[in-house]
Every structure is written in C-alpha cells, then in structure tokens.
Structure 1
Amino acid sequence: MILAIDFGTSNLKAALINKDGIFFNYYTQEVQSEIDRDICQISSNIYLDFTTNYINSIDASKVEAIILSSNGPSFIPLLSDIKIRNNSFSCKSGKTRLWMDKRGSKYSKRVSEFYHKYIDGSFFLPAILNIKENEKDLYNKTIKFLTIDGFVNFALTKKAYTVNNADGLKDYYWNEDSLNHFNLDKSKFTDFIKCGEIIGNVDKEVADKLNLKKDVKVIAGGSDFYFSIIGSKVNRENILVDINGTSEGLNLCSSKPLIDNRFLCYEHPLDNLYNISGVLSNSGVALNWLRKILNIEDLDFEEVYELSKKAKKNSLIFLPYLNGERAPIWNPNATATLFNLTVDSSKEDIANAVIEGTIFAFKSVLEILESYDYKIDEIHVTTAKKESDYYHQLKSDITNRTFVVYNTKSAELLGLSLLAYTSLKQYPDLKTAIEKLSLNKKVFIPNKSKQEYFIRKYELFNSVYEQTNKLMSKSF
C-alpha cells in the first residue's frame, strides 16, 4: 500500500491507502504554531517525529511507497545532516517559517521587480532574503533551505530536492539567475524534481531502523493544494475546488490560461489544462480567532455554527483580514474590521458576521473569475474539521453556487495515493485513476429565497472594504 503523509498548517495527517482509495490506520495530529505580529513559525522536529511515530505504529512491511505533501510556501533552514538513531530522526535546524510569516514582506518589491510580476513576501526568495539580511548567523549556518516535504524526503532518502508541481510556478521559487542577482549562496538551495518522479529508495539504514522493506520507494509529492485537487475528483474543466483549512484556496480547472497578477496560473494535474488559483489567508484563522475572542474555545465548530444560527438579521459586517490577505487584494497590511457593531449586537451576531465574512471574501474571488467569462459548473469541496452541512449550505446560499462534498477522510492523502499508484504504473494516467475512484457525495443547492438578503449584505461588505482600505496600513 501507499503511505501518504500531509503536513498541513494546523493538522498533520497520515494513512495507508490501497489502490481502491480505502484508508487504513488513518491518523491526524493537531499542531500549534507560534504567532507574534509578523512571525509565524513552528518547531521543525515535529515533522520528523510525526513521520517516525506513525511508521513505528503500523505494520511497516505493508508499505510499498511513500509520498508526502506539505503546506506552503513554508521552508526549513537545515543546519546539520539528519541522522537516524534507534527508530527516530535527529538533526539541527531552524524553526519552520510558515506561509503566514510576514518577515519577508519588505523584500517583496525587490523580488517582484526582478520577476516583473508580484511575488508576495511569504514566498521563498523574499523570506530567505530577510534571513540573509537580518538573521545573518542563521543564514551562514544553514546548509540547505528545504520545504517541509523536502525536509522529510531528505531524512528518508538522503537526497535533497525541492518538488515543483508545475512549470508555471517556477518564478515563486528560485533559479540560477535570481540567486546570482540577490547574491544568495547557491549551495544552500536544492535542485528541483518533478511531482510524481521517484526520488529514490528509502536509505538502507533508515529502512532497517524503521522496519521498512529495502525497496520502498519515495515519490515526489509537493504542495498540499495540488493533491486536494486530485483527491476532489476533478476530471474535467469548469470544476472549481474549494480547499478550506487554515487558509482557503480556490482552484479552477480550465482549458484557457488567465493573465492576472491577482491569481496564480499554471499547469493543472490533468494534461493540457490549467489551474487558476486564488488563495485566501484567513478562512480558518478567522474562526479560530472568533472562538478565542468570544471565550468559546471549549465549543467545537459545530457548536459555533449552532450559535451563529441564533443571530438576528442585521447589517453587521466582518472583513476577515486578520493576517493580511492574499488573493484577490494581495495586501500583507490588510486588517480585519467589524462594522456596524452596536450595543444590541450579541455574540451570536458576531459569530454569524465572522462566518459570513469569510464566505463574502470567497465570493469576491469567484466574481473576478466570472468577470473573465470563466465557466464554473460546480464547486467541489475538500472538507475540514471546521466545516459542516450548515456551513456548506450557507456558502451555497451566499455564492448562489452548487457545492459538491465528497466523503473522504482527506482529499490530500487520497490525491497523494492516486499520484503514487500512477507513478508506479498501476494506472495508465492520473485521469484514469481519478475516474476509477468511487466516493459518496452530498450536493448543496442555493436557496433562492435568501438571495436578495445576501446580495445586499455582500454589497455592504464591498463598500466597507473600499472605505477602510486606505486606512489599513496606518499604525501607531
């Protein structure tokens, strides 16, 4: 079977998955990052520990191949070789710089000018330039800058690569010209490997210590969003995948590319198609903030939704930009706003406004795509812990779109397994692998009677953003 592991921002997941897409030994672990103003980081050892702990907990003889994905753009400054001792890895490394870290923002302009396109400060070059200029000791001690999946792949195989999921994404990484231009030490950067290629077998000593077979292959995975697309049964154009976790990604499969710097556009996992991507930074962040600020952290997300259902109809508006924003406004200085708050506003009203605000932000991305005459037949959803039937129906009502939710423990892990089986020649191509997959689904259709109310609130949402945007970067 395939051992698939996804290193998400707030959840790590692993499972053994057979060719029919059936999960065995599914396991998930929540992790908490350190967030302080512009800093967002986490201990890098958690990824190595999660991997070895999981392998040690299963019958490792069943593993045929291993494939990993991770959140991004996140990276790890590796400070030493990775050793296997007993049945666990050890090394020296800096903390993982997660994609929400803003310390590279002041270098975004320089990198954007070099590439003649907007490169957000969360991407690799701006973030690493910040380390070079402001954390010189860490930069000098770093032997390799690795993505999270690249870090664990290196531990398993002793081969250091960065997985590039599509040629159209190459400007968001690095190349020889950019490393020369910014005077970065090329020895600290890896070569690239294509998604789906076999990196190599698990290192012999690692296999011995973890009771893996000697011929277990490690296959290049890469960015987690890529596998959410595959695992959401996208087998043709005009399907949009809503990948909702700590952040939220909208990924439209299309036969025509989009040239608009507010979006990323690159090759789709399926041949001869494009993936048009808009990424929202705050969908999950806002709900976690809501629980904290209302002192209801003891409530699970379903209970939070029950709370919001009790809200009265009102004009309370929430701009969800708690951590800046990526698509479509690409403003790291964007801030959240709670507008029309009165003495009569209840915690139920606030909860409802926050939930609606994240969906209005989602709708704003949809509208831009529609302005380019892109057709969206339906929206496939990758489920997250914070979602429920109520949330999906509300999203359908606000956006006036049909949502399809497939029943799977993890679209990322499922997508990883499908690519791995295709790489091992057990499927002729990825499209065949996706189409052979049988999953139950729920369909959510918009309630037309609610359209007028949500249209008015959405117009107010946009007006609040337009009026407050110029004030967002002001600080004391």
Structure 2
Amino acid sequence: MSVYLGIDIGTSGTKTLAIRQDGTILASTTVEYPLDTPQPGWSEQNPEHWWQATVQSIREVLAAGKIAPADVKGIGLSGQMHGSVFLDRDKKVIRPALLWNDQRTTAECAEIESRAGGREALIGMVANPALTGFTAPKILWLRNHEPRNFERLTQVLLPKDYVRFRLTGEFATEVSDASGTLLLDVRKRNWSTALLEKLSLDAALLPKVYESEEVSGKLTKDVAAQLGLPEGVPVVGGGGDQAAGAVGNGIVRRGAISATMGTSGVVFAHSDEVQVDPAGRVHTFCHAVRGKWHVMGVVLSAGGSLQWYRNQLGQMESSVAKSIGQDAYEVLSAQAGQAPAGSEGLYFLPYLSGERTPHADPHARGAWIGLSLRHGRGHLVRSVMEGATYAMRDCLEIIKGMQIPVNEIRLSGGGARGKFWRQLQADIYGQKVCTINASEGPAFGVALLAATGTGAYKSVEEACDATIKVVDSVDANSTAVAAYNAAYPLYGRLYRSLKGDFADIARLVGSGK
C-alpha cells in the first residue's frame, strides 16, 4: 500500500494526515501551539514550536493509522503564508517569526512602493501591491528596526519551508507560497530580480523556487530516525495554505471557485492566465497547479469574528452547549436563526484584525452599527455571521468583475460545517453553493501533491478528479437573496464612512506604530 502524508503548519496548530492513493484518509491529528502578540498589531511565533508539532503529529498519525513506515512514499507541506523565518550563518533562528496577520509594517509598505516607482509600477513587477501581511515588508522592517539582527541574516524562509529545511536540510520554496512574499515575478514564476535590486536585497537571502508537485528534497537519516520513517522519503514543494486548500477542494480548472470560511476567509478562483486587478484589491498568485495561476480575496477575520463572539460574549451559549452535548457554534447558529435576514438593520463590520480585501487597511476595526432596543442576542450573532459573509461577497464581486466565471462555489472551513451558515452564504452570494467529500483542506491538498510528484498521478488535475466529488448543495432562497441584495450596498458604505475614524483611533491608541 502506498501512503502519502500531508502536513499543514497553521497559525494555531500543525495538522498531519495520511491518505491512500484513492484519497482515503487513514489518520489525522493536530498539535496546537501558542501565538504571541508582544505589542498591539504584532503577531509572532517560535518556529521551534512548528517543528516539534510536526514531529509529534507525524508520529501520532503513523501510530493511529497503523501505517508501516515503508509504505510512506511521499510528503507534502503546506502552511500559513507570508510569515518570515530569519536564519543566521549557522542556520539558527535569529528572532521569533513575524506572521501573516502582523500589522507593524505600514511604513515599510510605503517604502516598497516608493522604491518600486509607485503602486502601479510595483503591481506591474509582481502582480500585487505591498500589504502589511506580506514577507517583503517584514524583511525591510528587520533592516529598519533591528539592524543588528539584519546584519546576521543569511536566509529568509516561509513557515512551511522552515519545516522543509528541518526535514531535508534543503533551502527551498515553491511558486504558490513564494507569490505571497511580494518578491516573486508571478508571470515568470521566479524571484523578481528587478524588485530585489530596487529594495537593495540580496537574492541569496531567498531559497530555490520549485513547482508545487516537484520533489524539493528527501528526509535526512537523522530526521527519518526521529520520525520513525525511512531515510530518503521525497518531500515535494507543496503549497501555501490557500493554494493547497484549493487543490484539496478540487479548484484546479476555470469556473469552480472555493469560499473558505476559516479564522480568515478566502475566495479563491483558478485562472489559466495571469489576471491582475489593476486596483490591487485581490491577489494574483501562482497556483499549486503547474503553469497555472489563481486570483484570491482575503478576509482577515471571517470565522474569526464568530470565534471572537463565542469567546468574549457567548459564555452562556457555550455553557448551554456543554450541558446538552452540542458544539457551541450549533447553539449560536440556532440563536442566529431566530433573527430575520438582515438582522433588522443591525450591521457588523468584521475588521477585528484590520482588513485586506478590498480595503487593504490595517487600521480598520470591528463595529456594530444600527443597534436599537429591538435587537437581542440572536440579532447580534446573526449580524456577525452576515458581516463576515458580506466581506466574503466583497471578494466575490471583484472576481466576477474581472470576468472570471463563477459557475460553482465550493464551501469549506468552519462556515461549511453548519447548515445555517451554508444557507446564509448561498443567500448572500446569491447562488447555489456546494460541499465536497473532502474536508481536510490544505493537508489533503498537499498529500495529493505528494502523490502526484512521486508518480501516483500524471497531474494534479488527475489526482483531484480521482479523489474529490461534490456531495451536497444548497440553493439560495429568493426572498433572503432580495433582502441581502438590498442590504449589501449599505454594508460597503459603512466602511467608507468610518475609514478616517479608524485611522484616528489607531493614532489614539498607538497601534499604528
């Protein structure tokens, strides 16, 4: 039996799963670790935690699945995008990694645009504008604010690529994750020498770039012994979590898009060509499918907004859920279902971590607007779910405006698990939504990449066709669609009305430093 491992180095934990060639999942486990916020707007992690979680999760999956080590034929890696691991000449980590949701680099983004010759010129070079979450501003932040650490710097790695280095001893990345550094020439699928020169950065700081299914290294003898696997197991390029998740959802051809409602939210569309939004509101990256690209809109606090509500305001619902043996989200969804579509004029702006698409505003903040004595807890929780889904629709509308076909929307993440939120998404998007037989996301996607790269399939498309099927669909309710189409334009105007106030709040509390 041939077995393939998929490893996803996430923000809250590392998931490892094992699949057979036909996509059957043999075992899956997740090992969690902390996230540090040393200052408002900062987000960091210790890369050693990723490595220890990888070792533990692999060993647990092998044991849980009763998998013979010799049966493991390939490993795929996915992970949170944009994070920066800084290594010195001894290949040791210099400081905690700066993560995708870190917002400290506003000044460095402005510096990049200036050095590049303006926003339009920058998009022309790397297909995207400078955003605080990306990797390039983090490198400049290190140079500007920690010059002694920058002097020690010899290598910059993305989170999954640091784990690759620990597994194989190789410095390598792949096109989908590298696209999110802002340093990749997305059209040519290699580092942008033009931008690196303008930023006065040495190309030697960056690893070799592979296609996502290409073998990038093999398990070293010492690590193989630590994991309980044979020496030399191939490790493929893998993918950034969004491209890998799209492979895991079968988004490998035009027409099908994914709407992933996790902590963050992502609307992801496959493209056979490089398609760029001139305003830079959505990202254009290389896909994890060889020679293909994707367009992606990102909502920083989608499911994360509901998680915040549960943790901070939903103690009663959590207690009730525990007493009746239900998940707290099921109780919250039932409560939301008691309020009508549109929450009777109550809006929630889900900008708890700033926002990326379409506003690219690190200072944006969450808000309830329209509260009255009429509103109760059901309205509050429903408005949070509606606000997160409106934000996802923002992404969808831009993609449609780029003339990218949207024939099928496949849901995944926490927003796909509950019937209520699936229906809510269909109603706000205004069209039928689907779910598939695979629900393990990026880890499943990179396991398929490992199977492809080691010869089990001829292409990523063939691997997806063999393992992924649509199993359910939800039609939009015409009455609710009409209500949301009437309410949605006002949702967009609320951000524009408050944009200046958000910036003033940031200055007041010092979060823009």
Q: Do Structure 1 and Structure 2 share a fold, with TM-score over 0.5?
A: yes
Structure 2 counterpart of 1:160, which letter? Answer: F
Q: 8 Å contact 1:235–1:435 — kept in the other structure?
A: no
Q: Give yes or no for the alignment of 1:209 onto 2:215.
A: no
Instruction: Assess, with a 3 A threshold, how the Cα gap between structure 1 residues 276 and 445 changes in structure 2: closer, same or farther.
Output: same
SS in 1 for 2:216: strand
Structure 1 counterpart of 2:303, which letter? Answer: G
- Once the two structures are superposed, residues 72-114 of structure 1 have per-residue CA deviations (whole angstroms, 9 ceiling, x without a partner) of 11122235757xxxxxxxx655222110001112110221341
For residues 34 and 153 of structure 1, the distance between their equivalents in structure 2, rounded to whole angstroms, comes to 23
Q: Give yes or no for the alignment of 1:26 onto 2:45.
A: no
The aligned runs of 1:33-432 (5 Å cut-off) are 33-35=35-37, 36-57=39-60, 58=62, 59=67, 60-79=69-88, 92-113=93-114, 114=116, 116-117=122-123, 118-165=129-176, 171-173=182-184, 175-184=192-201, 186-255=203-272, 257-260=274-277, 261-270=280-289, 273-296=292-315, 300-311=328-339, 313-384=343-414, 387-432=417-462
SS in 2 for 1:351: helix
Q: 8 Å contact 2:136–2:182 — kept in the other structure?
A: no
Q: 8 Å contact 1:78–1:93 — kept in the other structure?
A: yes
SS in 2 for 1:301: helix
Instruction: Assess, with a 3 A threshold, how the Cα gap between structure 1 residues 54 and 254 changes in structure 2: closer, same or farther.
Output: closer
Q: 8 Å contact 1:253–1:275 — kept in the other structure?
A: yes
Comparing 260-269 and 67-76, the one that deviates more:
260-269
Alpha-carbon deviation of 1:395?
0.6
For residues 274 and 22 of structure 1, the distance between their equivalents in structure 2, rounded to whole angstroms, comes to 28
Q: Which runs of 5+ in 2 are unaligned?
A: 124-128, 185-190, 322-327, 509-513
Q: With structure 2 as the length reference, what TM-score do the two structures score?
A: 0.84
SS in 2 for 1:391: helix
Q: 8 Å contact 2:79–2:241 — kept in the other structure?
A: yes
Alpha-carbon deviation of 1:211?
2.6
Instruction: Assess, with a 3 A threshold, how the Cα gap between structure 1 residues 30 and 347 changes in structure 2: closer, same or farther.
Output: farther
For residues 10 and 106 of structure 2, the distance between their equivalents in structure 1, rounded to whole angstroms, comes to 22
Alpha-carbon deviation of 1:210?
2.8
Structure 2 counterpart of 1:101, which letter? Answer: D
Instruction: Assess, with a 3 A threshold, how the Cα gap between structure 1 residues 454 and 44 changes in structure 2: closer, same or farther.
Output: same
Q: 8 Å contact 2:246–2:252 — kept in the other structure?
A: no
Structure 1 counterpart of 2:462, which letter? Answer: T
Instruction: Assess, with a 3 A threshold, how the Cα gap between structure 1 residues 26 and 452 changes in structure 2: closer, same or farther.
Output: same
For residues 383 and 67 of structure 1, the distance between their equivalents in structure 2, rounded to whole angstroms, comes to 20
For residues 77 and 341 of structure 1, the distance between their equivalents in structure 2, rounded to whole angstroms, comes to 46
Percent identity, aligned pairs only, is 23
Q: Which runs of 5+ in 1 are unaligned?
A: 83-90
Q: 8 Å contact 2:258–2:410 — kept in the other structure?
A: yes
Structure 2 counterpart of 1:307, which letter? Answer: Q
Alpha-carbon deviation of 1:256?
5.4
Q: 8 Å contact 2:8–2:77 — kept in the other structure?
A: yes
Structure 2 counterpart of 1:191, which letter? Answer: K
- Residue 86 (structure 1) aligns with: none
SS in 1 for 2:504: coil
Alpha-carbon deviation of 1:293?
3.0
Structure 2 counterpart of 1:242, which letter? Answer: A
Aligned partner of 1:442 among 449, 452, 472 = 472
Comparing 418-427 and 339-348, the one that deviates more:
339-348
For residues 34 and 401 of structure 1, the distance between their equivalents in structure 2, rounded to whole angstroms, comes to 40
Q: 8 Å contact 1:10–1:246 — kept in the other structure?
A: no
For residues 254 and 502 of structure 2, the distance between their equivalents in structure 1, rounded to whole angstroms, comes to 37
Q: 8 Å contact 1:43–1:95 — kept in the other structure?
A: yes
- Once the two structures are superposed, residues 194-227 of structure 1 have per-residue CA deviations (whole angstroms, 9 ceiling, x without a partner) of 3222122211222233332123111111301111
For residues 271 and 205 of structure 2, the distance between their equivalents in structure 1, rounded to whole angstroms, comes to 36
For residues 139 and 93 of structure 2, the distance between their equivalents in structure 1, rounded to whole angstroms, comes to 18
Q: With structure 1 as the length reference, what TM-score do the two structures score?
A: 0.91
Q: 8 Å contact 1:105–1:122 — kept in the other structure?
A: no
Instruction: Assess, with a 3 A threshold, how the Cα gap between structure 1 residues 12 and 155 changes in structure 2: closer, same or farther.
Output: same
RMSD: 2.5
For residues 482 and 264 of structure 2, the distance between their equivalents in structure 1, rounded to whole angstroms, comes to 28
Q: 8 Å contact 2:16–2:58 — kept in the other structure?
A: no
For residues 76 and 456 of structure 2, the distance between their equivalents in structure 1, rounded to whole angstroms, comes to 15
Alpha-carbon deviation of 1:323?
1.1
SS in 2 for 1:240: strand
Alpha-carbon deviation of 1:363?
1.2
- Residue 12 (structure 1) aligns with: 14
Q: 8 Å contact 1:302–1:386 — kept in the other structure?
A: no
Structure 2 counterpart of 1:95, which letter? Answer: P
For residues 399 and 440 of structure 1, the distance between their equivalents in structure 2, rounded to whole angstroms, comes to 19
Alpha-carbon deviation of 1:272?
6.3
SS in 2 for 1:54: helix
- Once the two structures are superposed, residues 179-205 of structure 1 have per-residue CA deviations (whole angstroms, 9 ceiling, x without a partner) of 443334555432323322212221122
Instruction: Assess, with a 3 A threshold, how the Cα gap between structure 1 residues 377 and 52 changes in structure 2: closer, same or farther.
Output: same
Instruction: Assess, with a 3 A threshold, how the Cα gap between structure 1 residues 385 and 61 changes in structure 2: closer, same or farther.
Output: farther
Q: 8 Å contact 1:7–1:71 — kept in the other structure?
A: yes
Structure with greater helix share of residues:
2
